[in-house]
Structure 1
Amino acid sequence: MKTSMLSAITVLFLAFTFTSDAVQVQEGEFSFSAESVRKLQALTNSVAAEQRSPRLSSPGASWVCEDPELPLDFLPLCQQPGAATALSNLVMVPMDVCEICSFAACTGC
């Protein structure tokens, strides 16, 4: 009885783990996991909170791409022209809406 319960919980946990990374956010030709976009948003929000000027709070490729906390998924994007605009677009993606796939840039639900 305990073994079957443990097996069922393990299967459910693994299913949840695999499906949690299924949501992808598309920006141009690049696709990023929802978790990577959340980390990018948290990174830019923490820097924006430290800076008081709204002009300085938008993510630019220069500082975001050099930050060691940036997920490695974004490095190919950082090497492209227009990376600052693409990163700004990703920061603005509403992740709570993305989770239910009602945002056009999100796929994989």
Structure 2
Amino acid sequence: MWPKALCVLVLLAHCCLCVIVKDGDYEFSLDSVKKLKELMDASHSSHQASQGDISDVEAAEMCASPELPEAFKLLCAAPNAAEIFSRLEPIAQNPDVCDVCAFAACSGC
């Protein structure tokens, strides 16, 4: 009984880790997008911007943050990084919806 239960747990854990968020040529793990939320929240509070409006200045601040997940380092070099961060924000704010693939950008469910 234990080996079967362990197998199911391992498969379940693997499925949770394989959700990928895509934007154009960029791919990020859902876990990385969840971590991005904290940076976005801090950026919005310091600039008093509404959600969904990530400016170039906010994107630059997030990119300069040591807390930025490694997966976003390449994105930071893109000229449209703020635009992509803005599109990732709804997923970061509500990642549970991505877990069930309600966002078209999510795959691997």
TM bucket normalised to smaller = 0.7 to 0.9
Instruction: Give me the TM-score of the superposition, normalised by structure 1.
Output: 0.79
1:32 aligns with 2:28: yes
Gaps of 5+ in 2: none
CA–CA distance in structure 1, aligned partners of residues 27 and 106 of structure 2: 9
CA–CA distance in structure 2, aligned partners of residues 12 and 46 of structure 1: 38
In the alignment, what sits opposite 2:70?
A: 72
Instruction: Give me the TM-score of the superposition, normalised by structure 2.
Output: 0.79
Q: Which is greater in Rg?
A: 1
Give the drift of 1:40.
Answer: 0.6
Structure with the bigger RCO (C-alpha within 8 Å, sep 6+) is 2
Give the drift of 1:63.
Answer: 0.4
1:101 aligns with 2:97: no
Give the drift of 1:47.
Answer: 3.8
In the alignment, what sits opposite 1:15?
A: 11
Task: Give the direction of change, closer, same or farther, for the CA distance of 1:97–1:11 in structure 2 (3 Å limit).
Answer: same
Structure 1 residues 20-45: Cα deviation after superposition (integer angstroms, max 9, x where no partner): 11111111111111111111112211
Give the drift of 1:9.
Answer: 4.1
Q: When you count helix as a share of all residues, which structure comes out higher?
A: 2
- Measured on the aligned residues, the alpha-carbon RMSD in Å equals 2.1
Equivalent residue pairs, number: 103
Gaps of 5+ in 1: none
What percentage of residue pairs aligned between the two structures are identical? 33
CA–CA distance in structure 2, aligned partners of residues 83 and 53 of structure 1: 20
Give the drift of 1:53.
Answer: 2.0
